Amino acid sequence: MQQADLAVLVNAAQQLESSSLATSISHTIGMPIETAMAVLPGHWSNIVSRITRKALEKALNAALYSLKKKPVKPKNKTHKLLVCISGAIGGSFGITALAVELPLSATLMLRSIADIARSYDEDLTTLESKMACLTVFALSGGGMAKVSSSSEAADTSYYAVRSFLTKALGDTTNHIAVHGLSKEGAPLMVKFINAVAVRFSIPVSEKVAAQSLPVVGALGGVSVNWLFIEHYQKMAKAHFSIRSLERKYGDKTVEGLYQDIVKYNNKQNTKEWELNKSYASNSTI
């Protein structure tokens, strides 16, 4: 792999494995996200899951199928602004506004993701690229930032997420490619959306919990939604840069190098943690 492309892959791996939306939200609201989520009623997890699935279905119809094939410069700032406006609604009315706010913000975010995809020469008239856009919602990040065993790290890896979606679909991709999104294909696309929603509902729950705090309000809702779309724009850029490299060098080559990068960074993080621990144990006050 050429040095410039390897640098792109390293940067993408760092974004996909280190960026943590939960951490960013915690810093914004001034408390651990777990504390905010404890405020939500227990039954809200099921409600969030249901609304998330419906929001992704609406976003798919409203955002992807209206896009043209011609690549354009992504309007990231415009999409951020619009999502922040919808976040003000969520911050003002809390969890009761989720059914209205989430489909709107998800549509705007998916439109932004699709813009980014086109900038990496993705053909959005193909089913594969449309599914790749939806895949971004399943990328929560944060794997590389944790000091853990290799098996635990693999569970949060970018390629682990892609593998999870592939396994969840089974033969769905091939089936839709043959039959299209007609009566035969549509139910299978719903299956893919459901698989993505399983992972996307977790950060959505964190977002709802943060926006539901009385101290957050409309202004805090704007900030949380800004972090929300900014995170998925970063995930999209990294995701589609990797897909671009896969088209150039082949899936196996890129995945192998990616895994080597992740292992190297995990080793570096482990060494740093061990050094800090050793220093702390030997220090005296």
Residue 21 forms part of a structural domain: yes
How many domains does the chain fold into? 1
Task: Kindly report, residue by residue over 26-81, the tens digit of the pLDDT.
Answer: 887 777 777 777 777 767 778 888 888 888 888 887 766 555 555 555 555 554 54
| Number of other residues whose CB lies within 10 A of the CB of residue 38 | 9
Closest CA to 105 of 278, 234, 230, 276: 230
pLDDT digits 0-9 by tens, 93-146:
455 667 777 888 888 888 889 889 999 999 888 878 888 999 999 997 654 444
| Residue 213 falls inside a structural domain | yes
Residue pair 212/40 in contact (Cβ under 8 Å)? The answer is yes
Residue 70 within a domain: yes
**231 within domain boundaries:** yes
For the stretch 197-214, pLDDT in tens is 989 988 888 887 777 776
**More confident call, 168 vs 254:** 254
pLDDT at residue 83 in the model: 45
Would you say residue 186 lies in a domain? no
Residues 6+ apart with CB under 8 A from 275: none
- CB burial of 172-188 (b: ≥16 within 10 Å; e: otherwise) equals bbebbeeeeeeeebeeb
Domain span at residue 71? 3-167+200-267
Q: For residues 116-139, b (16+ Cβ closer than 10 Å) or e, as one string? A: bbbbbebebeebebbbbbbbbbbb
Residue 87's contacts (CB-CB under 8 Å, 6 or more residues apart) are 101, 105, 211, 221, 222, 223, 224, 225, 226, 228
The pair phi, psi for residue 114, each rounded to 5°, is -65, -35
Share the mean pLDDT of the chain.
Answer: 74
Look up the pTM and report it. Answer: 0.77
The answer as to whether 118 is a domain residue is yes
